[in-house]
Structure 1
């Protein structure tokens, strides 16, 4: 049986991150060639190895890429040797004051985080579109949004913790969905597709009180393991979603209902 992404080459930006590491592994399992990109190539290689990825796999290559630098992104997509059928932007750039409670967020910090995360999502999406225009070959881009780009936060689940749902995150993730639709409509070619995946909460050793409160808002699963997000991304990169574009797949066990 042919694998889902046999003979496809996929770029993963943020391949050293929580989602990126699992995605690289899943893509290789589905027969894809993978270009793993991150701001620190050595740290990315170490993290992938830690999660059981064979970094000597001849279908896996590595590159250093800072998505927050326009010149880095544009230069990457202009490489003559670059041959990719799709990309996933799983990066999460932010500043040192990211994540403060609403009344503690300064305008400068808010603007800087929008520039880092939404700005980098814009330039990455723009350059994927430019690459498609140049190559004139089918291309599928998956951007990562969030349930909090769809619905307002349920702030009560953060009670009795030091955590909050950052206002910057909500603004950025909702905008990523609309930028994705904008670019898909602007390019206006069925061979070029952009879709979003919006995960619910992903387990990352959060406080027990938060995990318990969060679980009451789902249909029973609670926080999801990062591996449970990957299938929707693989689907959107594959030919099984050939005419799906401008859409947002929510994976949250009913949290946003």
Structure 2
């Protein structure tokens, strides 16, 4: 897979997060010029340093991005001297009441989270499409959905834990898949591609009862290491997937079967 992204400029939104911070070093290893964007540059720098990224690399630039701000997202795509060849949106904006159990979620909180996450996903897709129209250079956009944008939650795996599967998450992640299809169909140009990756559960030090119950529903891997998702993202950014568009690729070791 050496040099899969050689000569390409790749924008990674949410580069200071769990998934984004793993895509950055792999994209650099594959020869890409990487624009790493996040809300807090200082915390993004720390996260990237922690996974071994050389912040002084001439192939890496760090930019501030508020994914929920129309002005910020527009500036990200407009102020580029060179066309962006690929973009990945790994951001995960949410409010302070996000993640409550179904009957405890207020309509106001639900609507705010839909606006923050789905609204910003729309904005990112729209501005990526505008960038393509302006530059007329091929662009591959990867959105991050989830297995819970595909199937109903398996609520029994949350037994004996304080966790739940947030209703906002399911609504947002399923909508992101259709948003991606809509935009790909609307632009209607094989040079502009949008696809989704839907990971299964990613290990982030969840409670042991949950980890055990989750693993029982897979083919043996259990929760995925975040690095297991990166290869699929890189495939979709590369020329290896040139005519793959409007698709959703599930990476879950059989959890959704």
**Deviation, structure 1 residue 84:** 1.2
The residue number in structure 2 matching 1:68 is 68
Over 6 Å off, 4+ runs: none
The residue number in structure 2 matching 1:17 is 17
TM-score of the two chains, using structure 1 as the length reference: 0.99
5+ residue gaps, structure 1, are none
Question: Does 2:164 match 1:164?
Answer: yes
The residue number in structure 1 matching 2:131 is 131
For residues 171 and 110 of structure 1, the distance between their equivalents in structure 2, rounded to whole angstroms, comes to: 10
The residue number in structure 1 matching 2:148 is 148
Listed as ranges, the matches of 1:182-197 within 5 Å are: 182-197=182-197
For residues 80 and 18 of structure 1, the distance between their equivalents in structure 2, rounded to whole angstroms, comes to: 26
Contact 2:38/2:63, CA 8 A, preserved across alignment: yes
For residues 32 and 239 of structure 1, the distance between their equivalents in structure 2, rounded to whole angstroms, comes to: 13
TM-score of the two chains, using structure 2 as the length reference: 0.99
Contact 2:83/2:137, CA 8 A, preserved across alignment: no
Listed as ranges, the matches of 1:28-107 within 5 Å are: 28-107=28-107
> For 1:18, what is the secondary structure of its paired residue?
coil
For residues 30 and 76 of structure 1, the distance between their equivalents in structure 2, rounded to whole angstroms, comes to: 23
The C-alpha deviation readout for 1:174-224, integer Å capped at 9, x for no partner, is 000000000000000000000000000000000000000000000000000
**Deviation, structure 1 residue 82:** 4.4
For residues 170 and 194 of structure 1, the distance between their equivalents in structure 2, rounded to whole angstroms, comes to: 20
The C-alpha deviation readout for 1:224-253, integer Å capped at 9, x for no partner, is 000000000000000000000000000000
